Amino acid sequence: MTRLKSLPLLLVMLLAFSTLSVASSKSSIDNDANEALETFYKEVGGGKNYLNKVKAYLVFPDIKEAGMFFGGKYGEGVLRIGNTSKAYYSITSASVGMQMGAQMYSMIIAITSDAALNKFLLSDDEWETDVDGKIAIAEWNSKEELDDNEFDDDMVAFVFDSKGMMGSFTMEGTRFKRIKK
């Protein structure tokens, strides 16, 4: 019975270690980010105009998340300022609680203020939500233009192009770490 309880944790750890050991190249991350942005622009009316107005944005084209009571997620992405790639980051998270399933999705985090951008950039190559800052998950009506919405937060996340099913989605305890290659 004890082996059965540790099976989900073991599976998540194996997924995390196998994913962490296969880091993508910067050009691969950029290509995947460009494809994710095209999907975002098609799915979200006014998305391109909105991203042109923000100070910077992070694009994570392929985040993998899985869990059964114990969960984890991992992805790699790029920070863009003025549509130019400036740095590359990984996103990781581990969680415990009522959750079940597996999913893959893309995420864009828009940084809307100079203070939030400076705090993120000066974070000594590692930044953690709930410790260093908060990220609001955007909610919008797909029939309205995104650039008509006013988000009051310094950082706004857009989750899109989701495949699979997971019982919960949260940004709590998520860590962003700069990829140095």
In which band, very low, low, confident or very high, does the pLDDT at 30 lie, cut at 50, 70 and 90? very high
Q: How confident is the model at residue 8 (pLDDT cuts 50, 70, 90)?
A: low
pLDDT at 156: 87
Say what the pLDDT of residue 179 is.
87
- Distance (Å, whole) CA 109 – CA 138: 10
Predicted confidence band of residue 71 (pLDDT cuts 50, 70, 90): confident
Which whole number is the average pLDDT over 20-44? 86
> How many other CB atoms are found less than 10 A from the CB of residue 129?
20
pLDDT digits (tens, 9 = 90+) for 109-148: 999 999 989 988 887 667 665 434 455 566 554 555 555 5
70 with 96: CB under 8 angstroms? yes
The pLDDT score that the predictor gives to residue 24 is 76
Lowest mean pLDDT among 9-13, 72-76, 130-134: 130-134
- Measure the CA–CA gap between 136 and 145, rounded to whole angstroms: 19
Encoding tokens for residue 35? 């494809």
The set of residues, in sequence order, having a beta carbon less than 8 Å from that of 98 and lying 6+ positions away, is 69, 167, 168
Percent of the chain with pLDDT over 70: 67
DSSP 6: H
Global pTM?
Answer: 0.77
pLDDT of residue 2: 46
Of 9-13, 114-118, 119-123, 152-156, highest mean pLDDT: 114-118
DSSP letters for 117-159: HHHHHTSTTEEEBTTTB--EEP---TTS-GGG----SSEEEEE
Domains of the chain, residue spans? 2-178
Between 54-58, 81-85, 95-99, 174-178, the lowest mean confidence (pLDDT) is in: 95-99
Report yes or no: 73 and 92 within 8 Å, Cβ to Cβ. yes
Is it the case that residue 170 has pLDDT exceeding 70? no
